[in-house]
């Protein structure tokens, strides 16, 4: 039995062993493949999940889930592993999961950036944004760089007494640091707050933040609105092996109908568009995206919002080259970025605006979060300030939030509870995909002349094209119905290959019964007239890249 727990993180070798264990234990339900190698040469694993007894994954609609492209967002790996474990262990027991794996496939990449996570999970951790490759330069610039200076396995904050500091202690809780008010007079007890770290070429006076040596952001590497001046963009789209491997895999799997990328943090599902307002989307896509978002909210408690409207770092800028944008804008599938975990919401702060909150918020919010830390974590998430003799700065204090396991990721004891509903939503997201099935196949004969009628239908909720965007970008082929005749049989009417456009699903239908257009827009019919001896076998096939391939042999 593959032994897995969801209250801890796994280093690369352990993660690999777990994935291989699953592949060995469930050979009919999953296969492990390497999509390529990371910068440091680690295999980037993708687990292909489907019931292989009902057909190969490539002939079924599929759903993509990845995690941990950002180095410290290790709970994203946990979410992906939880999804895999649920699919494998509940197959045959849970009706929805059984149907999902019988009819569809999942491609799960638990750790898209294995190198960066390995640094974050090291005994003496190193926190970087993404790839471990130095970029854009290979030598370190002067300044302060985050580091576990006292070697206790945590990267905290440094507190320095400074008469001109911007921070002071909270009057009700001396552990807590709050910003100095604009009119706080000089002479008070003020502090400067810096990340725990070391300063390269410190002159004893000037402290500047060094740009990170590992300046890549692998989630700015995708070929959508890509710009070299976007921070972390890299040399060209897909120039880094990790996003390059994902791009290649996805391009090779046109059966992918949707995606989720697990990240942290904020407790929110983010969706495109990033570049423009919601009204720039095709109308039906926006309606459907919002319906999917509502399902996400109901199942997970995370709000589902647009990046453009609700999740911007700079109101005048938009982020270029992100995975979810690429998936929707260019490939035309509904994609989500799931930002796991919100410490604010845990502390009872409901109405907060993700990024804006960090710019400004009431000090009561900090007290609430501290209270939550005392109640739920026995105060262990916040390290009370302790003296430390810093090699360059002399006497400083270390302390503050143990951010890795309080802000950036859920605390270990809450990890499983946090990621469990995200797996349910991923399964739902897969189940809504288009799905091609035979509606009716029959033949009639007059002498040696046979009329074959095949009707297929889309039994999924989404249309076969998935989005209007996919049609607009011309990335999705039409439904194709083929007949294959043996030697001696002759096609009197009909085509060997028939293209039948796209089939609708149910997502566009109105919920008011009187006005609902309930016509059979999800069906397509084709007829062939064949001259052949009785007993001749003909093969018919219906193929749609996003809705699957189905086959049947008819004995005339
Ligand atoms: Zn992230």
Kindly give the distance from the C-alpha atom of residue 378 to the centroid of ligand 1, in angstroms, as a whole number: 28
pLDDT for the residue numbered 404:
94
What digits encode the pLDDT tens for the residues 449-461? 999 999 999 999 9
516 inside domain:
yes
Kindly give the distance from the C-alpha atom of residue 69 to the centroid of ligand 1, in angstroms, as a whole number: 7
Kindly give the distance from the C-alpha atom of residue 180 to the centroid of ligand 1, in angstroms, as a whole number: 31
Kindly give the distance from the C-alpha atom of residue 68 to the centroid of ligand 1, in angstroms, as a whole number: 7
User: Are both 273 and 421 inside the same structural domain?
Assistant: yes
User: Are both 328 and 248 inside the same structural domain?
Assistant: yes
User: Are both 325 and 419 inside the same structural domain?
Assistant: yes
What is the Cα–Cα distance from 283 to 337, expressed in whole angstroms? 21
What is the Cα–Cα distance from 38 to 74, expressed in whole angstroms? 17
DSSP-assigned letter for residue 86? H
Helix, strand or coil, per DSSP, at residue 554? strand
* 455-473 mean pLDDT: 98
356 inside domain:
no
What digits encode the pLDDT tens for the residues 100-149? 999 999 999 999 999 999 999 999 899 999 999 999 999 999 999 999 99
Say whether pLDDT at 515 is over 80.
no
Kindly give the distance from the C-alpha atom of residue 443 to the centroid of ligand 1, in angstroms, as a whole number: 55
* 222-231 mean pLDDT: 96
pLDDT range class, residue 315, cuts 50, 70, 90: confident
Say whether pLDDT at 3 is over 90.
no
Looking at residue 493, which CATH number applies to its domain? 2.60.40.10
Say whether pLDDT at 447 is over 80.
yes
User: Are both 327 and 417 inside the same structural domain?
Assistant: yes
User: Are both 152 and 172 inside the same structural domain?
Assistant: yes
pLDDT for the residue numbered 364:
94
* 43-68 mean pLDDT: 98
Kindly give the distance from the C-alpha atom of residue 298 to the centroid of ligand 1, in angstroms, as a whole number: 23
User: Are both 395 and 456 inside the same structural domain?
Assistant: no
User: Are both 249 and 111 inside the same structural domain?
Assistant: yes
User: Are both 107 and 250 inside the same structural domain?
Assistant: yes
Say whether pLDDT at 194 is over 80.
yes
User: Are both 248 and 332 inside the same structural domain?
Assistant: yes
Within 10 angstroms of residue 533's Cβ, the number of other Cβ atoms is: 11
Q: What is the number of structural domains in the chain?
A: 3
Kindly give the distance from the C-alpha atom of residue 231 to the centroid of ligand 1, in angstroms, as a whole number: 14
Euclidean distance between the first and final Cα of the chain, in Å? 49
pLDDT for the residue numbered 351:
84
**Dihedral class, residue 176 (left if φ above 0, else alpha if ψ from -120 to 50, else beta):** beta
pLDDT for the residue numbered 352:
87
Kindly give the distance from the C-alpha atom of residue 289 to the centroid of ligand 1, in angstroms, as a whole number: 21
Kindly give the distance from the C-alpha atom of residue 455 to the centroid of ligand 1, in angstroms, as a whole number: 45
User: Are both 310 and 425 inside the same structural domain?
Assistant: yes
Helix, strand or coil, per DSSP, at residue 487? coil
6 inside domain:
no
251 inside domain:
yes
Kindly give the distance from the C-alpha atom of residue 97 to the centroid of ligand 1, in angstroms, as a whole number: 28
Kindly give the distance from the C-alpha atom of residue 335 to the centroid of ligand 1, in angstroms, as a whole number: 15
What tokens does 338 get? 């799931």
User: C-alpha 24: how far from its chain's center?
Assistant: 26
Residue 514: what are its φ and ψ, rounded to 5°?
-65, -40
Kindly give the distance from the C-alpha atom of residue 130 to the centroid of ligand 1, in angstroms, as a whole number: 9
Kindly give the distance from the C-alpha atom of residue 408 to the centroid of ligand 1, in angstroms, as a whole number: 10
Kindly give the distance from the C-alpha atom of residue 409 to the centroid of ligand 1, in angstroms, as a whole number: 11
What is the Cα–Cα distance from 486 to 528, expressed in whole angstroms? 14
User: Are both 201 and 262 inside the same structural domain?
Assistant: no
% of the chain surpassing 90 pLDDT:
95
Kindly give the distance from the C-alpha atom of residue 262 to the centroid of ligand 1, in angstroms, as a whole number: 8
% of the chain surpassing 70 pLDDT:
100
* 265-274 mean pLDDT: 96
130 inside domain:
no
Q: Of the residues 396, 431, 466, which one is the last residue of a structural domain?
A: 431
126 inside domain:
no
Kindly give the distance from the C-alpha atom of residue 300 to the centroid of ligand 1, in angstroms, as a whole number: 19
User: Are both 243 and 103 inside the same structural domain?
Assistant: yes
Kindly give the distance from the C-alpha atom of residue 73 to the centroid of ligand 1, in angstroms, as a whole number: 6
Length of the chain: 556
What is the Cα–Cα distance from 549 to 464, expressed in whole angstroms? 12
Kindly give the distance from the C-alpha atom of residue 307 to the centroid of ligand 1, in angstroms, as a whole number: 13
Kindly give the distance from the C-alpha atom of residue 219 to the centroid of ligand 1, in angstroms, as a whole number: 8
pLDDT for the residue numbered 408:
96
Burial grade of 303 (CB within 10 A; 0-12, 13-18, 19 or more) = middle
Kindly give the distance from the C-alpha atom of residue 215 to the centroid of ligand 1, in angstroms, as a whole number: 14
What digits encode the pLDDT tens for the residues 317-330? 999 999 999 999 99
Helix, strand or coil, per DSSP, at residue 185? coil
Within 10 angstroms of residue 412's Cβ, the number of other Cβ atoms is: 15
pLDDT for the residue numbered 517:
80
276 inside domain:
yes
What digits encode the pLDDT tens for the residues 6-37? 999 999 999 999 999 999 999 999 999 999 99
Kindly list the strands in the beta sheet with 62-67, ordered across the sheet, starting from the edge strand earlier in the chain: 30-37, 43-49, 105-109, 62-67, 256-264, 334-340, 268-271, 304-306
Kindly give the distance from the C-alpha atom of residue 74 to the centroid of ligand 1, in angstroms, as a whole number: 10
Kindly give the distance from the C-alpha atom of residue 355 to the centroid of ligand 1, in angstroms, as a whole number: 13
State the residue range of the domain holding 472: 436-555
Query: Would you say 98 and 49 are in contact if contact means Cβ atoms under 8 Å apart?
Result: no
Looking at residue 32, which CATH number applies to its domain? 3.40.630.10
Q: What is the mean pLDDT of the chain?
A: 96
305 inside domain:
yes
Kindly give the distance from the C-alpha atom of residue 185 to the centroid of ligand 1, in angstroms, as a whole number: 40
């Amino acid at each position: 039995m593959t032994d897995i727990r969801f209250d801890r993180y796994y280093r690369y070798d352990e993660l690999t062993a777990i994935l291989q264990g699953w592949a060995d234990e469930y050979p009919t339900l999953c296969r492990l493949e390497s999509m390529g190698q990371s910068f440091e040469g680690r295999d980037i694993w993708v687990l292909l999940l489907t019931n292989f007894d009902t057909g190969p994954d490539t002939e079924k609609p599929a759903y993509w889930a990845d995690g941990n492209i950002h180095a410290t967002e290790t709970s994203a790996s946990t979410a992906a592993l939880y999804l895999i474990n649920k699919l494998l262990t509940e197959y045959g027991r849970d009706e929805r999961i059984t149907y999902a794996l019988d009819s569809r496939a999942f491609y799960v990449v638990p750790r898209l950036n294995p190198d960066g996570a390995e640094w974050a999970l090291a005994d003496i951790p190193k926190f970087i944004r993404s790839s471990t490759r130095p970029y854009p330069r290979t030598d370190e610039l002067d300044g302060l760089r985050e580091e576990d200076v006292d070697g206790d396995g945590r990267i905290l904050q440094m507190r320095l007494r400074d008469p001109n500091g911007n921070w002071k202690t909270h009057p009700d809780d001396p552990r807590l640091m709050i910003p100095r008010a604009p009119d706080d007079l000089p002479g008070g007890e003020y502090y400067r707050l810096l990340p725990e770290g070391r300063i390269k070429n410190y002159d004893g006076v000037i402290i500047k933040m060094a740009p990170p040596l590992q300046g890549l952001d692998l989630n700015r590497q995708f070929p959508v609105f890509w710009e070299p001046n976007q921070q972390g963009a890299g040399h060209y789209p897909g120039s880094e092996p990790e996003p390059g491997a994902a791009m290649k895999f996805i391009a090779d799997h046109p059966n992918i109908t949707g995606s989720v990328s697990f990240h942290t943090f904020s407790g929110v599902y983010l969706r495109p568009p990033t570049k423009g307002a919601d009204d720039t989307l095709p109308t039906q896509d926006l309606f459907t995206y919002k319906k999917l978002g509502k399902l996400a909210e109901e199942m997970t408690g995370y709000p589902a919002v647009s990046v453009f409207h609700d999740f911007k770092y700079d109101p005048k800028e938009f982020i270029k080259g992100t995975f979810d944008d690429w998936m929707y804008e260019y490939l035309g599938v509904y994609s989500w970025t799931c930002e796991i975990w919100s410490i604010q919401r845990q502390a009872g702060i409901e109405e907060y605006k993700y990024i804006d909150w960090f710019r400004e918020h009431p000090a009561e919010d900090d007290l609430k979060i501290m209270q939550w830390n005392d109640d739920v974590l026995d105060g262990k998430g916040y390290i009370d300030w302790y003296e430390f003799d810093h090699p360059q700065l002399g006497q400083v204090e270390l302390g503050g939030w143990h951010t890795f396991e309080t802000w950036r990721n859920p605390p270990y004891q809450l990890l499983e509870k946090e990621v469990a509903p995200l797996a349910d939503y991923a399964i739902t997201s897969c189940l809504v995909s288009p799905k091609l099935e035979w509606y009716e196949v029959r033949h009639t004969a007059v002498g040696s002349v046979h009329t074959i009628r095949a009707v297929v239908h889309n039994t999924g909720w989404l249309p076969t094209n998935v989005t209007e965007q996919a049609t607009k970008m011309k990335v999705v082929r039409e439904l194709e119905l083929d007949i294959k005749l043996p030697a001696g049989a002759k096609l009197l009417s009909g085509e060997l290959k028939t293209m039948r456009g796209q089939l609708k699903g149910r997502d566009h239908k109105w919920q008011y019964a009187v006005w609902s257009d309930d016509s059979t827009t999800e069906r397509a019919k084709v007829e062939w007239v064949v001259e052949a001896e009785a007993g001749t076998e003909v093969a018919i096939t219906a193929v749609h890249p996003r809705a699957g391939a189905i086959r049947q042999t008819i004995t005339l």
